[in-house]
């Protein structure tokens, strides 16, 4: 591309990973996210978002998925680019740094799986310590984006298993949006959207009428990202690092090399 060399501008990819977790067994679940303890200056000892440099032959979303895998051992249920941060002052006492940040949703059971590690810990999303760099602001923005997207998109199932009840799905919405939803109206809305398919099974064992299990309808595109078609949504069979296109669902993703060195 013959664009000017990036001089001393380093490029990194970080990921904000959300999962639902209930502190007490029967308590309402809330949003949690994993942070990693920094071992170098600046901000040594502080908690920070998982991330690191981009590998030479790796796409941006692939790097984010790798962050996720290395931090939680999981594949993303949903993954979308959040923003590129490049303020000249964002990295004190270190060189200039531009970070492309992704956000992801994973299944709830991820939270306990990795809590044994001492350098990785899950925190409640609305009760974070003071993080390294501008990561507090990043998480705030990721939360804002998640809440917005939850209202007009159909990504909640990414925080659940293959099948789920409408109650479970509603709990995801309630936890993210932090407000109770009418079960009756919620049912009608998701049924009208066509995003779910009823299975034949029900869940017995509760001391009440057994709820039906639903499955996500893959025929429906849940993310309205326009012309973009990002990637490792669900387990994409073997398309390892096929695409780095931005997520076409929300106004944030699109893939294009905009090099222009003339002018």
Partner DNA sequence: ACAAAAGTGTTTAGACTACACCCATGC
Partner DNA sequence: GCATGGGTGTAGTCTAAACACTTTTGT
| Residues between 1 and 60 with contacts to its own copies, criterion CB under 8 A | 1-15, 36-42, 48-54, 56-60
252 CB-near residues (< 8 Å, 6+ apart): 80, 81, 82, 83, 145, 246
Shortest distance in whole angstroms from residue 226 CB to DNA: 20
Q: Decide if residue 93 touches DNA (CB under 7 A).
A: no
The stretch among 44-52, 113-121, 164-172, 233-241 that binds DNA (CB under 7 A) is 164-172
Which element (helix H / strand E) includes 169? Answer: helix 166-177
Q: How far apart are CA 46 and CA 42, in angstroms?
A: 9
Q: How far apart are CA 19 and CA 190, in angstroms?
A: 21
Query: What is the total residue count of the chain?
Result: 263
Q: Are strands 10-21 and 97-105 parallel, antiparallel or unpaired?
A: parallel
Which of 114, 115, 163, 165 touches DNA by CB under 7 A?
A: 165
Binding mask 179-198 for DNA (x = CB under 7 A): ---xxxx-xxx--x------
Which does residue 22 bind out of its own copies, DNA, none, counting CB within 5 to 8 angstroms by kind?
Answer: none
Q: Decide if residue 70 touches its own copies (CB under 8 A).
A: yes
Q: Decide if residue 202 touches DNA (CB under 7 A).
A: yes
Which does residue 189 bind out of its own copies, DNA, none, counting CB within 5 to 8 angstroms by kind?
Answer: DNA
Q: Is 7 helix (H, G, I), strand (E, B) or coil?
A: coil
Q: Decide if residue 90 touches DNA (CB under 7 A).
A: no
Reference 50, options 70, 31, 30; nearest CA is 70
DSSP-assigned states of every residue in 215-246:
EE-TTS-----TT-----SS--TT-TT---PP
Shortest distance in whole angstroms from residue 136 CB to DNA: 31
Q: How far apart are CA 236 and CA 24, in angstroms?
A: 34
Which does residue 188 bind out of DNA, its own copies, none, counting CB within 5 to 8 angstroms by kind?
Answer: DNA
Q: Decide if residue 88 touches its own copies (CB under 8 A).
A: yes
Our CB check for DNA shows the closer of 40 and 179 to be 179
Q: Decide if residue 208 touches DNA (CB under 7 A).
A: yes
Residue 216 · residue 198 · CB < 8 Å: no
Q: Decide if residue 97 touches its own copies (CB under 8 A).
A: yes
Which residues of this protein are in contact with DNA, per CB under 7 A? 165-167, 182-185, 187-189, 192, 202, 204-212
């Amino acid at each position: 591309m013959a664009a000017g060399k990036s001089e001393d501008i380093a490029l990194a990819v970080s990921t904000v990973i959300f999962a639902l977790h209930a502190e007490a067994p029967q308590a309402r679940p809330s949003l949690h996210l994993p942070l990693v303890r920094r071992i170098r200056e600046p901000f040594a000892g502080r908690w920070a978002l998982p991330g690191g440099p981009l590998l030479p032959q790796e796409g941006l979303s692939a790097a984010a998925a790798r962050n996720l895998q290395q931090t939680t051992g999981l594949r993303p249920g949903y993954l979308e680019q959040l923003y590129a941060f490049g303020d000249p002052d964002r990295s004190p006492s270190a060189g200039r740094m531009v970070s492309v940040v992704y956000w992801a949703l994973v299944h709830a059971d991820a939270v306990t799986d990795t809590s044994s590690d001492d350098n990785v810990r899950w925190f409640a999303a609305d009760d974070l310590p003071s993080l390294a760099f501008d990561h507090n602001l990043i998480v705030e923005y990721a939360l804002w984006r998640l809440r917005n997207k939850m209202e007009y998109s159909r990504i909640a199932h990414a925080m659940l298993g293959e099948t789920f009840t409408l109650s479970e799905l509603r709990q995801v919405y309630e936890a993210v949006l932090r407000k109770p939803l009418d079960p009756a109206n919620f049912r009608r809305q998701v049924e009208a959207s066509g995003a779910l398919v009823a299975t034949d099974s029900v869940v017995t064992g509760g001391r009440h009428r057994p709820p039906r299990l639903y499955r996500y309808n893959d025929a429906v595109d849940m993310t309205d990202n326009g012309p973009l078609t990002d990637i490792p949504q669900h387990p994409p069979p073997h398309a390892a690092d096929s695409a780095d296109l931005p997520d076409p669902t929300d106004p944030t993703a699109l893939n294009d090399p905009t090099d222009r060195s003339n002018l």
